[in-house]
A and B are shown apart, each in its own frame.
Chain A
């Protein structure tokens, strides 16, 4: 590999001579620009609209209203009073209280301290220009004509705010203790969940990589199961395990599962596979020579563990910690189901937008949520870039030796973790088959009559499959092609660097934030793209973008393994690059391509946060149905639908496995030639 790279520089000397762009180069750059443009439209523009929304404020502009007041006989004097001047004289409303939300209303009588609805005094009010708006009762007045009314009608006049720009949303946010507290809550549960998950996952990964215990393959499968369900499902499982009618609620000793305890247990469940995968990779690459040295230096196993094992895996552990932290702090489904009154940032966005229709405040919370997410992401990137240098060419792979006592303990430990995971899934399936928990425990399929409940019925389930298939198909094409262009085109350094940056960005953006940003960008009638709003297309675009980064990295890794000499050879044989792409690159990278497809499929089936703001009645999804059924109190059907997602994902995985095996035999035979 190394020598090939050196040869390559000989074949294609880099110098100050600027090569003329060939037709292939132009096509490749064109393709790269198209995909970069996709990322700009599906990510950068929406985020920009969201940021600008967070600075969009609503103010009562009192100078836009004029009033006239009559005497008791109903005779108006020609004097016109501007409300702003009136307020400056009376000081009934301080300036800072003039900022409000888009739904703000201000009763006009407040400016008339001696107002009485019984008085015979008549009032006239008008807008100074087209910008002013006020209500009489619930009728909106926007014109500049005088509206004359008696006192009893005047008390029904409500002033409406106008749009302006400023920081007042942020000031408002940080001065609302209920909202501010959520930052603390979010960070608290994220840290605790991270610590627990990383410790549990470390020992699990350690057992699977460094012991000779049995059933390793089985445990590996179990550990990956939580990835196949939406994060709402562990919340529902916890209701059945530890809720007021929970089967083992005694284990909580009277504490309530609705709150931080529930969020943390559920978070450990759904982040476990992510932490396990990363730490397992770190533990898999280790140098046996270090352990031999430790033995010959007569170091105790304890000391060896702390001086050899932990330092060797430290980047994996740190990386896992930040990934888990990020997953927990940006997750919306679990705290929604089991959080009770314990508010977290992601749920606040939902409440602000859905509950209070306060889109501006939703944007502000999104901006706040992005900060820890981006920080965790950035640290993770730095750490991962260091991981590579650990293994040298002279390393000897470590082979664990059997030890009956340790292997026994590890089997018990993995068994307990496995029981936790299977138990959580099992209780959901069990509850889904019960007729009326807890009063009628007979078995029934009533909970599968989704069409009789909220959330979109069986149609939502089929929509989900359609959406996941489209995401897997379109996403894999776009992402792999994009990765190919950026990895294999020559020159155009700045463009490639910018493209890389765009491709990494989605991972740092929480799903809720992305979904909200899409509303602001796509549901704007001036945007010609708003025709996709409310269609399946926007769900697919959003999901592809949301899961872009990991897929892109998978593709890049696979492409990096391919010698760039292929390109040189094909160029010297005067073959068009796209012939090379379809004849060599795609077949060689097929395992990676299939991995990307299954990753996109599974995530499209389980995602809630990104699409919860974007679905329409025709495009309701299974994961959204779980959320909505739980919301309506139909918890057992929600569990049933959640398990349908699980089985669908297992089915997809099996298909993936069969395809991969077939593909390996047909296209990867060359790998085993030596």
Chain B
């Protein structure tokens, strides 16, 4: 009975959209992967699965997470491919993920796979925080390059620093959670209090600080290494700095959304996402991938970045997310522009 209802509903939706072709399966895939990589990912997947069409829903980590949570009782996505591990833990704790062990999952580095059996999510690659430093603008402002997170609280950087707002940006949140883990709860907030004095403003997305640094709008942007490497490749006068205390990171991961009506196609996609082939594809932008032995150096990637990755406690990050964000907001958000 229930099945019938669902069938008619999907029939109604299908005829409304009038785009679905019966021979092919269309998967709605939510992702936070950089927009310019999406067509490459889809093309690679379609080489082996030409019958499955991917419809991307791409937005920043915070927005995609919000969207998934909002649709908790009426999921629109079939698969999540390329969303922050912290967010996937959040979705798992809401019972929104369908556990599935993809073929070949045992070959992955175990820190990239959910501990449950079958796992609720499997990792793809890691993205790592870094500081984008515009040498031209910094030179004009007479700045010396920072080498550590603590350096950034120095008075010479006042007003020359931009970072993402952790409330909307996954990168911003991994920075904050890494500082809390590096410096301890109290020390972390003290550090951010000092840093806040130097911040010109907080941006909505995690890639914007680096793009602003690349465009010379600000000398220093706290962002992530991958973005910096791309802007540098595009010709921006950037140095990518790895702070000496260690850097926060999060992984991108894949999961099946519970309640999908296209289980078979969804499983095929997740199977593909853990293959060596797929990991080689992730490696074009990400220096660290889940499949051991695949990673090749990425152009313009800073040295020593992988060694600097802190041992990240994802469960701490996911379960304290709401509390940390609330605290962050009450401390730093809404203070008027530092003059």
Chain A residues near B (Cβ < 8 Å): 100-101, 103-105, 135, 137-140, 142, 156, 158, 176-179, 181-182, 185, 239, 243-245, 255-256, 258-260, 336, 340-343, 351, 353-357, 359, 436-440, 451-455, 519, 523-525, 530-531, 533-535, 537, 616-618, 628, 631-635
B323's nearest neighbour on chain A, judged by CB, is A105
Which A residues are CB-close (under 8 A) to B137? 244
What 6 additional pairs, Cβ within 8 angstroms, besides A140-B93, A353-B66, A633-B207? A140-B94, A140-B95, A260-B337, A439-B235, A617-B56, A633-B214
| Among candidates B35, B322, B339, residue contacting A105 with C-beta atoms closer than 8 Å | B322
Give, as a whole number of angstroms, the nearest-CB distance from B208 to chain A: 4
Bound CA span A260–B337, Å = 9
Query: When the two chains form their complex, are residues B218 and A256 in contact, meaning their CB atoms are under 8 A apart?
Result: no
Bound CA span A648–B16, Å = 28
| Among candidates A156, A343, A440, residue contacting B315 with C-beta atoms closer than 8 Å | A156
| Among candidates A135, A354, A436, A525, residue contacting B319 with C-beta atoms closer than 8 Å | A135
| Among candidates B69, B95, B217, residue contacting A239 with C-beta atoms closer than 8 Å | B217
Answer yes or no: B190 CB below 8 A from chain A CBs. Answer: no
Which A residues are CB-close (under 8 A) to B60? 631-632
Tier of interface size on chain B: 35 or more
Tell me the chain B residues, 83-130 only, with Cβ under 8 Å from chain A.
Answer: 89-90, 92-95, 116
Given A436-B236, A531-B12, A631-B205, CB of A343 within 8 Å of CB of B333: yes
Q: Which of B70-78, B149-157, B277-285, B293-301 contacts A (4 or more CB under 8 A)?
A: B70-78
Bound CA span A179–B167, Å = 14
Which B residues are CB-close (under 8 A) to A138? 89-90, 92-93, 315, 318-319
Query: When the two chains form their complex, are residues B208 and A139 in contact, meaning their CB atoms are under 8 A apart?
Result: no
Give, as a whole number of angstroms, the nearest-CB distance from A458 to chain B: 13
Give, as a whole number of angstroms, the nearest-CB distance from A387 to chain B: 39
Nearest 8 CB-CB pairings of A with B? A633-B211, A178-B334, A355-B168, A633-B208, A355-B167, A259-B337, A525-B74, A138-B93
| Among candidates B58, B95, B325, residue contacting A454 with C-beta atoms closer than 8 Å | B58
Give, as a whole number of angstroms, the nearest-CB distance from B306 to chain A: 25
| Among candidates A139, A181, A535, residue contacting B334 with C-beta atoms closer than 8 Å | A181
Give, as a whole number of angstroms, the nearest-CB distance from A397 to chain B: 50
| Among candidates B90, B168, B209, B333, residue contacting A354 with C-beta atoms closer than 8 Å | B168
Bound CA span A238–B202, Å = 18
Which A residues are CB-close (under 8 A) to B218? 244
A627's nearest neighbour on chain B, judged by CB, is B204
Query: When the two chains form their complex, are residues A243 and B334 in contact, meaning their CB atoms are under 8 A apart?
Result: no
Give, as a whole number of angstroms, the nearest-CB distance from B119 to chain A: 12
Query: When the two chains form their complex, are residues B66 and A357 in contact, meaning their CB atoms are under 8 A apart?
Result: yes
Give, as a whole number of angstroms, the nearest-CB distance from A33 to chain B: 25
Answer yes or no: B215 CB below 8 A from chain A CBs. Answer: yes
Give, as a whole number of angstroms, the nearest-CB distance from A527 to chain B: 10
Query: When the two chains form their complex, are residues A135 and B93 in contact, meaning their CB atoms are under 8 A apart?
Result: yes
Query: When the two chains form their complex, are residues B338 and A355 in contact, meaning their CB atoms are under 8 A apart?
Result: no
Given A341-B202, A523-B70, CB of A139 within 8 Å of CB of B93: yes
Classify the secondary structure of A's interface with B.
Answer: loop
Query: When the two chains form their complex, are residues B76 and A534 in contact, meaning their CB atoms are under 8 A apart?
Result: yes
Tell me the chain B residues, 167-219 only, with Cβ under 8 Å from chain A.
Answer: 167-168, 200-205, 207-212, 214-218
B168's nearest neighbour on chain A, judged by CB, is A355
Bound CA span A438–B218, Å = 12
Query: When the two chains form their complex, are residues A340 and B89 in contact, meaning their CB atoms are under 8 A apart?
Result: no
Answer yes or no: B63 CB below 8 A from chain A CBs. Answer: yes
Bound CA span A422–B16, Å = 43
Query: When the two chains form their complex, are residues A341 and B335 in contact, meaning their CB atoms are under 8 A apart?
Result: yes
Which B residues are CB-close (under 8 A) to A454? 35, 58-59
Bound CA span A437–B136, Å = 13
B74's nearest neighbour on chain A, judged by CB, is A525
Bitwise interface map of B from 1 to 21 toward A, beta carbon under 8 Å scored 1, else 0 = 000000001001100110100
Which A residues are CB-close (under 8 A) to B248? none
A525's nearest neighbour on chain B, judged by CB, is B74
Query: When the two chains form their complex, are residues A356 and B325 in contact, meaning their CB atoms are under 8 A apart?
Result: yes
Bound CA span A179–B326, Å = 12
Answer yes or no: B275 CB below 8 A from chain A CBs. Answer: no
Answer yes or no: B254 CB below 8 A from chain A CBs. Answer: no
Give, as a whole number of angstroms, the nearest-CB distance from A386 to chain B: 39
Given A177-B334, A341-B335, A341-B336, CB of A356 within 8 Å of CB of B167: yes
Cβ contacts A to B, 19 pairs, < 8 Å: A103-B69, A105-B319, A135-B319, A140-B93, A178-B330, A258-B201, A259-B337, A355-B204, A356-B66, A356-B329, A357-B66, A436-B215, A436-B234, A439-B237, A451-B39, A531-B13, A535-B17, A632-B60, A632-B208
Query: When the two chains form their complex, are residues B95 and A519 in contact, meaning their CB atoms are under 8 A apart?
Result: no
Query: When the two chains form their complex, are residues A617 and B235 in contact, meaning their CB atoms are under 8 A apart?
Result: no
Query: When the two chains form their complex, are residues A357 and B69 in contact, meaning their CB atoms are under 8 A apart?
Result: yes
Give, as a whole number of angstroms, the nearest-CB distance from A579 to chain B: 34
Query: When the two chains form their complex, are residues A633 and B201 in contact, meaning their CB atoms are under 8 A apart?
Result: no
Query: When the two chains form their complex, are residues A354 and B62 in contact, meaning their CB atoms are under 8 A apart?
Result: yes
B166's nearest neighbour on chain A, judged by CB, is A355
| Among candidates B168, B212, B236, B335, residue contacting A351 with C-beta atoms closer than 8 Å | B168
Bitwise interface map of B from 299 to 339 toward A, beta carbon under 8 Å scored 1, else 0 = 00000000000000001001111110110011001111111
Which B residues are CB-close (under 8 A) to A137? 315
| Among candidates B204, B215, B216, B337, residue contacting A258 with C-beta atoms closer than 8 Å | B337
Bound CA span A132–B317, Å = 23
Question: Which one of B55, B116, B201 has the highest number of Cβ atoms from chain A below 10 Å of its Cβ?
Answer: B201
Query: When the two chains form their complex, are residues B208 and A618 in contact, meaning their CB atoms are under 8 A apart?
Result: no
